[in-house]
């Protein structure tokens, strides 16, 4: 910081200290700094003061397991305390000079005040951001935020009987739902909830003590822990033995794709339409060839393999395309395809010229040109 900016910083800090609340401070400082953008100064004083983007400060990093941490994030201006338990939060972290974005399910229960968000991140083998978060992020880190979103949440009113099926880190959105049901049980009854949770090893179970404690305080809640290294993966026959009335329970499921695919098949085969699924990852092995992707009028191109999405490819060469969930959920990333073909990693569907594609789940099948 130069002498003149640090002098200005002192003046602004003193001025900001005299105004009662951030929004008023923002208006006040805007007048003071006109015609320059107030954000350029306000973020020097207090990094969460930005009117251009949602920001948050990591206030706590709690280690849940060797490869998993919970971040408690204090949101800055403009962030909403209102969200549906089970929804995800977009988080951007500065990594090697570039803001890198991923989605994380909210594990916190919404509060009526300004509240704090919490997310629980498991480091994936060779995962770019998850390893950075688990290994490096400390309290005081400033992150960018995208508002909570997603359809994976309980309806209102809450069904009187329901089931959760989770595995591994897929417990996170359900944790947000359980904490919220627990908090709301002061004013409304806790529903009849059966929760089947699978972990590879007994010690892998995240939030285990809290879940067992919930069983004691909420008689409506029953946890079945399945340790797959000892008992194998649960199949639908075993599920029927464990939860005889599961055909009567609308179900929310999150975990590895293989588990979710099996549940999908079972619900399809039994003509049920009350399965709600959240997927964290796509299968990248879709047999696509890859190719050269041209990003429309930007003139930029990138050579991609058949497992790197077009959104990721654009980011590699500095093409900013819109995105939200990065998992084919929100439709924010839809763009037109001018030339060539792409494959959707979720279901193997191929798309050709003139179609609109979701860049976050599409990989190149040969050379591709986007309409941008
Ligand atoms: C709605 C939603 C909610 C989520 N909630 C959570 C949550 O609560 N907790 C949580 O831990 N995660 C959650 N996720 C997953 C999270 O968003 C990230 O995807 C995850 O942290 C991995 O990010 P990464 O940058 O570490 O991995 P990436 O670098 O994005 O890679 C992801 C995986 O793909 C592989 N991969 C990447 N590129 C290639 C390639 N070109 N070829 C082959 N393999 C490749 C990597 O090795 C890695 O295993 C959620 C995802 C969604 C969509
Ligand atoms: S970013 Fe949400 S569907 Fe692509």
To test ligand 1's pocket by mutation, which of 103, 279, 345 has the most ligand atoms within 8 angstroms of CB? 103
Strands 275-278 and 251-254: parallel
Q: Which helix (H) or strand (E) holds 11?
A: helix 3-17
Residue 283 in domain: no
**Does residue 313 lie within any of the structural domains?**
yes
pLDDT attached to residue 82: 86
Which-ligand-closest: CA of 323? 2
Identify which of 275, 246, 247 has the alpha carbon closest to the alpha carbon of residue 263.
275
Q: Cβ distance 306 to 288 under 8 Å?
A: yes
| Residue 13: per-residue pLDDT | 47
Q: Is ligand 2 within 6 A of the CB of residue 362?
A: no
**Tens digits of pLDDT across the chain (372 residues):** 444 445 555 554 454 444 444 555 556 655 655 655 555 555 555 566 566 689 999 999 999 999 999 999 999 888 787 899 999 999 999 999 989 999 999 999 997 666 899 999 999 989 999 999 999 999 999 999 999 999 999 999 999 999 999 999 999 999 999 999 999 999 999 999 999 999 999 998 999 999 999 999 999 999 999 999 999 999 999 999 999 999 999 999 999 999 999 999 999 999 999 999 999 999 999 999 999 999 999 999 999 999 999 999 999 999 989 999 999 999 999 999 999 999 999 999 999 999 999 999 999 999 999 999
Mutate to test the pocket of ligand 1, among 66, 71, 129 (most ligand atoms within 8 A of CB): 129
CA–CA separation, 152 and 91 (whole Å):
18
Question: What ligand has the least distance to the C-alpha of 277?
Answer: 1
For residues 37 and 94, membership in a common domain is answered with no
How many domains is the chain partitioned into structurally? 4
| Same domain membership, residue 241 and residue 145 | no
In the block, residue with structure tokens 């107030």: 38
Q: Please tell me whether residues 66 and 88 are part of one structural domain.
A: yes
Q: Are residues 172 and 274 in the same domain?
A: yes
Query: Residue 313's domain is classified under what CATH number?
Result: 3.10.20.30
Report yes or no on 285 lying in a domain: no
Is 182 contained in some domain? yes
Inter-residue contact 364 to 342 (CB < 8 Å): yes
Tell which atom from ligand 1 comes closest to the C-alpha of 285: 43
Instruction: Report d(CA 55, CA 147) in Å as an integer.
Output: 10
Is the C-beta atom of 324 inside 6 A of ligand 2?
A: yes
Distance 281 CA to ligand 1 centre (A): 6
Please check whether residue 156 lies inside any domain of the structure: no
What is the DSSP track for 145-165?
Answer: EEEEE-S-S--SSPPSEEEEE
Provide residues with CB under 6 Å of ligand 1.
Answer: 88, 102-105, 119-122, 124-131, 150, 169, 172, 278, 280-281, 284, 305, 307-308, 325, 327
Does residue 219 form part of some domain? yes
Domain holding 216: CATH number?
3.40.50.80
Cβ–Cβ under 8 Å, residues 197 and 167: yes
Give the model's pLDDT for residue 261.
94
Q: 356 C-alpha vs ligand 2 centroid, how far in Å?
A: 13
Co-location of 143 and 199 in the same domain:
no
pLDDT reported for residue 77: 80
Residues 178 and 230 in one domain: yes
Ligand 2 atom at minimum distance from 358 CA: 4
Q: Which residues of 162-177 are buried (b: 16+ CB within 10 A; e: fewer)?
A: bbbbbbbbbbbbbbbb
Same domain, 137 and 182: no
Q: Verify that 298 and 354 share a domain, yes or no.
A: yes
Range of the domain at 259: 161-278
Q: Indicate whether residue 325 lines ligand 2 (CB < 6 A).
A: yes
Q: What three-state secondary structure class fits 68?
A: strand
- 177 with 262, same domain: the answer is yes
């Amino acid at each position: 910081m130069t002498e003149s900016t640090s002098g200005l910083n002192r003046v602004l800090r003193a001025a900001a200290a005299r105004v009662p609340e951030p929004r008023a401070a923002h208006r006040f400082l805007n007048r003071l700094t006109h015609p320059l953008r107030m954000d350029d100064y306000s973020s020097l004083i207090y990094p969460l003061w930005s009117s251009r983007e949602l920001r948050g400060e990591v206030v706590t990093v709690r280690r849940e397991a060797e490869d998993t941490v919970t971040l408690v994030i204090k949101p800055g201006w403009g962030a909403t305390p209102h969200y549906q338990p089970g929804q995800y939060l977009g988080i951007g972290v500065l990594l090697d000079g570039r803001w890198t974005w991923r989605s994380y399910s909210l594990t916190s229960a919404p509060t009526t005040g300004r509240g704090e968000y919490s997310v629980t991140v498991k480091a994936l083998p060779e995962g770019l951001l998850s390893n950075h978060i688990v290994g490096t992020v400390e309290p005081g880190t400033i992150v960018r935020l995208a508002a909570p979103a997603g359809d994976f949440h309980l309806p209102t009113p809450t069904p009187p009987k329901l089931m959760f099926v989770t595995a591994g880190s897929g417990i996170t959105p359900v944790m947000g739902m359980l904490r919220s049901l627990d908090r709301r049980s002061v004013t409304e009854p806790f529903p009849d909830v059966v929760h089947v949770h699978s972990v590879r090893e007994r010690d892998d179970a995240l939030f285990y003590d809290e879940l067992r404690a919930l069983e004691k305080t909420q008689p409506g809640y029953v946890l079945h822990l399945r340790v797959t290294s000892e008992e194998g993966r649960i199949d639908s026959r075993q599920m029927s033995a464990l939860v005889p009335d599961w055909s009567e329970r609308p179900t929310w499921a999150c975990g590895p794709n293989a588990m979710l695919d099996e549940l999908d098949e079972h619900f399809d085969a039994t003509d049920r339409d009350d399965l709600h699924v959240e997927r964290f990852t796509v299968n990248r092995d879709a047999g696509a060839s890859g190719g050269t992707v041209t990003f429309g009028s930007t003139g930029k191109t990138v050579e991609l393999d058949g497992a790197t999405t077009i959104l990721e490819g654009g980011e590699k060469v500095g093409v900013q395309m819109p995105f939200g969930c990065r998992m084919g959920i929100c439709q924010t990333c839809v763009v037109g395809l001018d030339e060539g073909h792409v494959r959707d990693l979720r279901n193997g569907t191929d798309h050709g010229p003139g179609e609109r594609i979701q860049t976050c789940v599409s990989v190149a099948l040969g050379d591709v040109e986007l309409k941008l």
